[in-house]
Amino acid sequence: MGMELRIENLSKTYANGVRALDDVCLTIPAGMYGLLGPNGAGKSTLMRTLATLQEPDGGSAQLGDIDMIGQKDKVRRQLGYLPQEFGVYPRTSAEDMLDYIALLKGLTHARERKDAVGWMLERCNLYDHRKQALSGFSGGMRQRFGIAQALIGNPQLLIVDEPTAGLDPGERNRFYNLLAEVGEQVIVILSTHIVEDVAELCTEMAIINKGRVLYQGRPQDAIAQLKGRIWEISIGKAELGGYEQRYQVVSSRLVAGRPLLHVYSPAPLSEGFAPSTPSLEDFFFTKIRSWN
Ligand code: ADP
């Protein structure tokens, strides 16, 4: 309860010279926290660092009274990590694997562990498949197992990297509900490039690009900053280049075969433009566009 994650001046430059984290400072409270950024922004580097899987060059991260860089064993007992892909799905049964992971997280009491494993299998809708080998699991079942292994042992910090890739809409919904339920008590960091996921789920968020924090705060405050500043217009395909030169084009998508542009402008635009209700997606693109 009330635990906070404080990240200060975290930096990481890879051997090839890519600066993946550039002086990142974030304060993350309990609840659902969205970490939004385009591909290559540095999200996975940050998530892997917090999950104790790689070292930063400098900076600190403090979870309650745990120093996350120096006290890795302590972090691991408080941590649930759901990576994008596990890669390996062994012939071990779901139940045995979960039991093993629970043991690693410090559930050393056999009776308690058995209860925790059974309850988690039920909660993630896998109880009927508990004796089945993970190697034979379908995509949806693998995802649910991923959630089960992340949640076992009641972690105080749950890190979820690009979770909804490859889920159908029904699975995505169930996953969201489970996360929202867990997220009331613990810190859940949801790393994604899907703006909609953050808009629907998160009470606090950050946007990062090229290793830098461009925004942190509440999604609704971000949207409020754009009030009266987003304009839309439907144009012919051939006109797109001209508009991109003259205006700060936030996004362009095809509607009935014609580009519908969202344009950023603090001053009112006439000549066919109509005011548009700003969305988190508008805010995200406004932050990461090169005209910034
Ligand atoms: P994201 O998860 O937001 O897509 P990453 O953290 O994976 O971003 O990557 C950030 C940047 O660091 C990218 O430019 C990526 O190519 C680079 N990068 C990531 N991992 C490595 C690595 N092991 N070695 C070299 N460069 C890397």
**Residues with Cβ within 8 Å of residue 126, at least 6 apart in sequence:** 94, 141, 144, 145, 148
Using alpha carbons, select from 52, 67, 34, 13 the residue that is nearest to residue 162: 34
Instruction: Say which DSSP state 17 is in.
Output: S
Q: Is the pTM of this model over 0.85?
A: yes
**16 CB less than 6 Å from ligand 1?**
yes
Asked if residue 42 has its Cβ within 6 Å of ligand 1, the reply is yes
In the sheet where 274-275 sits, what is the strand order? 248-255, 258-264, 230-234, 274-275
Residues listed for the chain: 292
For helices 110-123 and 94-104, give the axis angle rounded to 10 degrees.
120
Contact 152, 120 (CB under 8 A): yes
Rounded-to-integer distance, Cα 280 and Cα 221, Å: 10
Report how far ligand 1's centroid is from the alpha carbon of 277 (Å): 34
Between CA 282 and CA 292 the distance in angstroms is 13
Q: Is 43 in the pocket of ligand 1 (CB under 6 A)?
A: yes
Q: In 3D, which of 162, 177, 13 has the Cα closest to residue 81?
A: 162
292 residues of the chain, pLDDT tens digit each: 568 999 999 999 999 999 999 999 999 999 999 999 999 999 999 999 999 999 999 999 999 999 999 999 999 989 999 887 766 677 899 999 999 999 988 899 999 999 999 999 998 889 999 999 999 998 888 888 988 999 999 899 999 987 776 677 887 787 788 788 877 789 999 998 889 889 988 999 999 999 999 999 999 999 999 999 999 999 999 999 999 999 999 999 999 999 999 999 999 998 899 999 999 999 999 999 876 6
| The residue type at 205 | M
